[in-house]
Amino acid sequence: MAEQRQLHLAGFFSAGNVTHAHGAWRHVGATNGFLTGEFYKQIARTLERGKFDLLFLPDGLAIEDSYGENLETGVGLGGQGAVALERPA
């Protein structure tokens, strides 16, 4: 009997105010809720309905330009987005 093989599906999503589609912000259904936990729950639920096995959220290796290319400010304030995800609405 032949060995049964299974395909695993993974969703890759860059968290934050970045996107793989540079014009996505212009879409009529676009949202700016990337700082809310509900935003990521909705994405995970969509992948789950599509029978995906996991959602991968990679670490960022860059400091936002909004910090004025200042390493100390970027490192000092960089974690505030993650903290905001846990705040009650």
- 3-state SS assignment for residue 3: coil
89 vs 37: which has the higher pLDDT: 37
54 - beta bridge partners?
A: 10
According to DSSP H, which parts of the chain are helical? 37-49, 71-77, 80-84
17 vs 86: which has the higher pLDDT: 17
Q: Please tell me the distance from the alpha carbon of residue 3 to that of residue 6, in angstroms, as a whole number.
A: 10
pTM of the predicted model over 0.85: no
Q: Please tell me the distance from the alpha carbon of residue 79 to that of residue 69, in angstroms, as a whole number.
A: 16
pLDDT in tens, 8-59: 999 988 765 555 666 666 777 777 777 678 888 998 999 999 999 999 988 7
